[in-house]
Structure 1
Amino acid sequence: MSDDETASPPLIVGVCVVGFHHTRGPEVEFWIGENGEDMSNRWPNLPFQSLPDGSHSHEEDYSYFTLLYEPQPGDVATEPTTYFGISCNRQIRADKLLYKDAEVTRSTVQKSVVVVARKPIFGPIREKLAVVTRAYFLQANFQDRTIIITLYNNLVQLFHSDIAETDLYNGMTLRELVHRFKYKTLVLFKALILEPRILFFGSNTELLCSSQFSLVSLIPGLIERLEDCASPSLNSYEDTLKKSTSLRSSDRESLLAFMGLPLQAFGKGGLFNPYTPLQQLETLTKADTKFYLIGSTNSLLLSQKEKFADILVNIDNNSVEILNPEFESPLQLTTCDRKWIDSISHAVDDTWSDEDNNDPGSIVFTGSEDFIRWKFEEYLMALLSSVKYDGYLQKYGPPLSPEDLLPTIDGNPAEDFNMNWINRWKLTNNYRVFHKFTDEELFDVVMPKHPFTGSFSLEEVQRKLSQQMQNLAPARDAIAKTFSTGSQRVTTAFGNFWAEIEAMREKERARRDAQKFAMRQENADAESVAGTDELNTAKASPSSVSSGSSVSSRRQHHITLATDSSPVSSWTRWAQERRLRGFGSRKPSSPRSTSHGSDSPPSVDSKSTPPAASPLSSPSSQPPTLPSRPHATASDPTPESYTTISLEDPNSNTNNPSTASSIELPMHDVYPTNDPDDDDDSDDSDLGYVPISTKDINPWDQHSGDQQSEMAT
């Protein structure tokens, strides 16, 4: 072996097979490693770490853990350090095995394949380990370990020297950690630096372990310097650390070293074991174990959580419980802290995909795991610089002259990081190491200012507006629904209102029609009674026309009232009947008034204004009677609006008004003198037509329609 190989031993220590014995429990069945030596007996807890509690309930599960390496005579390494183990465990039914020895007494056989390395290269190893373990179980013969030997040789060739830091981050679930815990990710980050006792609990062993490694990877450079995390007694990092005296700003490693990074969160008195079995609880209760970060799948620890933890992190329900009151105030996030971590959480959530939670969904930097680590590195450097500036202010002031202060910094920037947290951090071991190996004026290199101090960026404002609009979506839908319902109600109300108005109108119209009909009935009844009285009076009068009078047969006609609604048609029918029956031979001597004997036709006198005409009696019928019309008098504005037809008995005394009968008609109802339908060339006056001038016609515009439809004959 060359000097280079001696200086840098292979990263792979060995590969082994762990089986579960029904009486002895988990035990190492096979080991292959460097120098051909079985090193499994150095770690009595390795079988329990590789077969976690509850792993039998999963078809395939993974476990990450740490091992304390203590050198023995003949070993290549001479200093105690930390080794890292990763196991893949599966199970198979016993009846499917091709070869089954006497030790197999249960229905299932459970085994795990373990790889032990000097660095936590879990990501690259996991993929190969998964393939080999499945193939080892598919061959159904655990006595054939050729594939296990091949795996070891292949891994030694792949990882024969140091690897890059980015390879150590491969396979971690940092995005899922931020997605699950949101702002509480920053709480866990700041809690890790305060060196409390942190217990992770969960039923999924792989997620439980990878979440802890993801949290540790947020401290820049710490994932490469975990050589002291397996035991509280290890402190090699501080023993070999030197203060940086030079700085190359273009070199990230030089900058981190000058800023005192990585912070040794697992130095002397600390312990880190991602999966801790119950058999290792004794180590947690030792006096030299001051703080730790451990994980467990056994619920017995939950029943004694105050005894074993200051902070409990439950992976199953994504909760962080601060059990020790001493850490409550220091772990309160400031406004700047909350805004800063929310911006990272939203970046992860915006690019989250359930199918591939390690990929931001596209080829972008924002929201990726590198983006998260870069933001936390920026935050931690600003925090360290602000703490140094706070120490500077306390050492040399106040008051300080403006020349002694940073011109771009107002007040104490450490307050944006929570002064309670800073005061608590100054009591820890990693702060002691940081303060010992760093310069007093780090704030001249990195600005002592919270990364989220000041106003929001344009992207942050847009994101917050978008988020608020999304939060208002339910309220907007409710408001729209309310407006829609209200509009329907208003429309229905107005519709009902107008329907009621129309119903009221219809009711009022029906009521008025009923009133009109009732009034007409009353008027008709009153007229009928009045006509009957006049008829009885006419019968009792000596001037009444009787059936035994000497009036000629053409004079013994019945004078009836027209029932037609048209006055002209009624008068026409009366005139036609008179023409058919014939009038007397005598003609009227005057167009206005005529005196005749027993055979003369009735005289028409438009100047006379007798009282209302009484209907004549007839031996055959009693004609209906119309109410009396108003007479035209000398004082009337239209004296010739009416005409009076007098029916005289030639044998009666014309001077006696009681012996005469008359009917009063409107002038426009009188048939014209010249009959167009008359073919006779004789004078129409012989037929009893009375010439009426059109100037005598005055329509009854001022009377009702019922009055216009009435006509006396």
Structure 2
Amino acid sequence: MHPILNVVVVSFHHKRGCEVEYSHPKLNGTGEAGLPDEWHLLPSLALPDGVHNCQKDTIFFLLPSKEEPGKCVFGISCYRQIDSKELLNKSDDVTRASVQKAVCVLSRIPLFGPLKAKLEVITQAYFEQKDFSKVDVLAQMYTNLCDIFDENLTGEYFSNLAHHEISIQELFVRFRHRALLLFKLFLLERKVLFIAPTGLRLGETMLAIVSMFPKLLEEGLYYATIGVNTNDKTKAVNKEKKSSDIVIEEDVGVQMTRDDPLKEKDSCGFPLSLFTQGCSFDPYLSIQSMDYISKTQSCVVGATNALFAVKKDLFDVIVKIEDDGSLVHNHIEFVNDSALERVLALTSADLRFADFVLKKVEEQMKASTSEFDGSDEWIRLQMKNYLLGLVATSRSDLQAAVPHFGVAFVNEWRRTKNHKIWVANKHEDLASVPPGHMFSEQMGVYDVYLRFEHAVNGVEGASKVIGTVNTAGKNLGTSIGETGSRVKAKFTNWWNRKNPAAQEGIEQAEEPQSE
């Protein structure tokens, strides 16, 4: 079957709300404008919440498949707003000062990055006509997309295509060491909300995290959307499992493997079964979908509507991406489970690994040549090696190695569905992976600096720790001589670069106190 399904135009009507205005090929469902029942959320997903408050946006989303029950299809929406006075041909429905529309492409396979650039260009051309009755450009786009993306997209070519324009580098630059924390968070199958001012920022962040897991983006999201993870079948299976009187861990893994829809794995066991059997992933949800969240076992969802963040009882973690126009602030808030923050605390070995990746990324981004080290593909290779070392350590239960990943984290991960499925199966290349952390070594003074940087980056209002930093630096200088002073000086210089306005406060904190 051809991967491209439809090109759809969704508009906002001041009385009827979001509605499908045009589709090519024509939709043949029972809903308005031929909308299938499975896609009833399409209009609300295509247009961002609060459409009047933004001029343009790009949204990545998932929908249940209307052809293959239990699976999903992938959508990308390009939204624009135009002043109604600029229109050359106004319909009778245009009664407001502005018109809001979105052009969407629906596909059977995840092509978020490759479709984004093409869709943005065509949407701009569609709006520049200033006559929305002229849809030839949209029909032509569908034909062109069908020519470009044919049914033979497989193997390494498809993998590279799926990761196109999904930047893990930007993820590390924005979240720094906490990018690894988010990676580990996904493994624990908790309820996580990402909230950002725009759908584009949201989708880029969430898909970048997914793309760090081997083969997950291109092969592991076909059963992910919340629309197929809250059905009666899933509930019945879960109820049956909970009613068992005697549970043997190995049997649970075997049973989960039998029920797992992701049957095709490589010789290492990838892609992981992170988003199946009641565990959902949606890079964007509208406010109309909020009721689904309580019906899932776990979920990773994105939203731009602030009402999601108010419903803290629905989530374990809320990741806030705030943009003030010049700086992007990212905050990870643990709600309803204070122990989870301790479980996910990065170890010294984790911080060394994250710092190693971050430095390579920064060096590669500054370099004039496109070197492999520090590139997105290089990062994915490092994360694969990290993940293989983690599962090998978990399986071996080597007491010397487990603490480098975090004892509490490994124990928590062992309880998840994805871990039980992974270790319940025999994977040819997994048996040869040695247990242990790539950056397990004796703790040194540099680890103290890393811990400080990680703490400051992860705390809102981090300038409050400056006094503590200086006190710690002085104590280090007293106890281990000049090395401690260098650590303090290095941290102070780093903080000044991050926040020049804090310089005055630092100097005051360093002034000697009268006895």
Q: Given the two structures, how large is their TM-score scaled by the length of structure 2? A: 0.75
Superposed CA deviations along residues 209-265 of structure 1, whole A, max 9, x for unmatched, are 11111111111011122111012157999545569xxxxxxxxxxxx7232222111
2:169 is the counterpart of 1:175? yes
2:436 is the counterpart of 1:445? no
Aligned 8 A contact 1:31 1:40 in 2: no
Aligned 8 A contact 1:267 1:429 in 2: no
Offset of residue 49 of structure 1: 0.7
2:15 partner amino acid: T
Q: 1:102 aligns with which of 79, 88, 92?
A: 92
Aligned 8 A contact 1:124 1:167 in 2: yes
Offset of residue 470 of structure 1: 5.6
Q: Which residue of 2 aligns with 1:18?
A: 10
1:184-583 to structure 2, matched below 5 A, reads: 184-224=178-218, 225-230=220-225, 231-232=228-229, 233=231, 238-239=259-260, 257-286=266-295, 289-305=296-312, 307-316=313-322, 317-323=329-335, 324-352=337-365, 361-390=368-397, 411-438=399-426, 444-454=431-441, 471=491
Whole-angstrom distance in 1 between the partners of 2:308 and 2:344? 23
Offset of residue 168 of structure 1: 0.5
Whole-angstrom distance in 2 between the partners of 1:430 and 1:448? 19
1:125 partner amino acid: L
Q: Secondary structure at the match of 1:179?
A: helix
Aligned CA distance change for structure 1 residues 94 and 240 (closer, same or farther; 3 Å): closer
1:139-150 to structure 2, matched below 5 A, reads: 139-150=129-140
Aligned CA distance change for structure 1 residues 349 and 424 (closer, same or farther; 3 Å): same
1:449 partner amino acid: G
Superposed CA deviations along residues 25-72 of structure 1, whole A, max 9, x for unmatched, are 11000011389777633311111111111343333210000001143x
Offset of residue 449 of structure 1: 1.5
Q: Which residue of 1 aligns with 2:43?
A: 47
Q: Which residue of 1 aligns with 2:473?
A: none
Superposed CA deviations along residues 486-516 of structure 1, whole A, max 9, x for unmatched, are xxxxxxxxxxxxxxxxxxxxxxxxxxxxxxx
2:35 partner amino acid: S
Identity score, percent: 31
Whole-angstrom distance in 1 between the partners of 2:368 and 2:223? 37
Whole-angstrom distance in 2 between the partners of 1:375 and 1:191? 17
Whole-angstrom distance in 1 between the partners of 2:383 and 2:494? 35
2:299 partner amino acid: Y
Q: Structure 1: where are the runs of 5+ without partners? A: 1-8, 72-77, 244-255, 354-359, 394-410, 483-713
Aligned 8 A contact 1:65 1:274 in 2: yes
Whole-angstrom distance in 1 between the partners of 2:45 and 2:101? 12
Aligned 8 A contact 1:201 1:295 in 2: yes
Aligned 8 A contact 1:54 1:203 in 2: no
After the TM superposition, which of the residue ranges 48-57 and 273-282 deviates more from structure 2? 48-57
Whole-angstrom distance in 2 between the partners of 1:364 and 1:311? 36
Q: Secondary structure at the match of 1:285?
A: helix
Offset of residue 475 of structure 1: 12
Q: Secondary structure at the match of 1:219?
A: coil
2:25 is the counterpart of 1:33? yes
1:644-655 to structure 2, matched below 5 A, reads: none
Superposed CA deviations along residues 141-198 of structure 1, whole A, max 9, x for unmatched, are 1011101100111111111122420111111132111111111111111110100001
Whole-angstrom distance in 2 between the partners of 1:119 and 1:327? 34
Aligned 8 A contact 1:386 1:443 in 2: no
Aligned 8 A contact 1:55 1:61 in 2: no
Bigger radius of gyration: 1
Aligned 8 A contact 1:238 1:433 in 2: no
Q: Secondary structure at the match of 1:315?
A: strand
Q: Which residue of 1 aligns with 2:104?
A: 114
2:75 is the counterpart of 1:124? no
Whole-angstrom distance in 2 between the partners of 1:309 and 1:202? 16
Whole-angstrom distance in 1 between the partners of 2:495 and 2:315? 43
Aligned 8 A contact 2:224 2:281 in 1: yes
Q: Give the paired residue count.
A: 420
Offset of residue 350 of structure 1: 3.5
1:314 partner amino acid: K
Aligned CA distance change for structure 1 residues 52 and 467 (closer, same or farther; 3 Å): farther
Aligned 8 A contact 1:218 1:376 in 2: yes
Aligned 8 A contact 2:185 2:344 in 1: yes
Aligned 8 A contact 1:227 1:236 in 2: no
Aligned 8 A contact 1:386 1:413 in 2: yes
Q: Secondary structure at the match of 2:271?
A: coil
Q: Which residue of 2 aligns with 1:539?
A: none
Q: Secondary structure at the match of 2:21?
A: strand
Tell me how large the CA RMSD over aligned residues is: 3.1
Whole-angstrom distance in 1 between the partners of 2:280 and 2:19? 24
Offset of residue 80 of structure 1: 3.0
Q: 2:56 aligns with which of 53, 60, 70?
A: 60
Aligned CA distance change for structure 1 residues 361 and 280 (closer, same or farther; 3 Å): farther
Aligned 8 A contact 2:126 2:137 in 1: yes
Whole-angstrom distance in 2 between the partners of 1:474 and 1:156? 50
Offset of residue 282 of structure 1: 1.3
Q: Structure 2: where are the runs of 5+ without partners? A: 235-255, 323-328, 454-482, 497-502, 508-515
Whole-angstrom distance in 2 between the partners of 1:423 and 1:275? 31
Superposed CA deviations along residues 581-602 of structure 1, whole A, max 9, x for unmatched, are xxxxxxxxxxxxxxxxxxxxxx
Offset of residue 10 of structure 1: 0.8
Q: Which residue of 2 aligns with 1:548?
A: none
Whole-angstrom distance in 2 between the partners of 1:427 and 1:238? 17
Q: Which residue of 1 aligns with 2:461?
A: none
Offset of residue 348 of structure 1: 2.1
Aligned CA distance change for structure 1 residues 456 and 124 (closer, same or farther; 3 Å): farther
Whole-angstrom distance in 2 between the partners of 1:58 and 1:143? 23
Whole-angstrom distance in 2 between the partners of 1:328 and 1:442? 33
Q: Given the two structures, how large is their TM-score scaled by the length of structure 1? A: 0.55
Relative CO higher for 1 or 2, CA cutoff 8 Å, sep ≥ 6?
A: 2
Whole-angstrom distance in 1 between the partners of 2:258 and 2:54? 39
1:181 partner amino acid: F
Whole-angstrom distance in 2 between the partners of 1:414 and 1:474? 32
Q: Secondary structure at the match of 1:134?
A: helix
Offset of residue 352 of structure 1: 4.0
Offset of residue 376 of structure 1: 0.6
Higher helix residue share = 2
Q: 1:159 aligns with which of 149, 152, 167?
A: 149
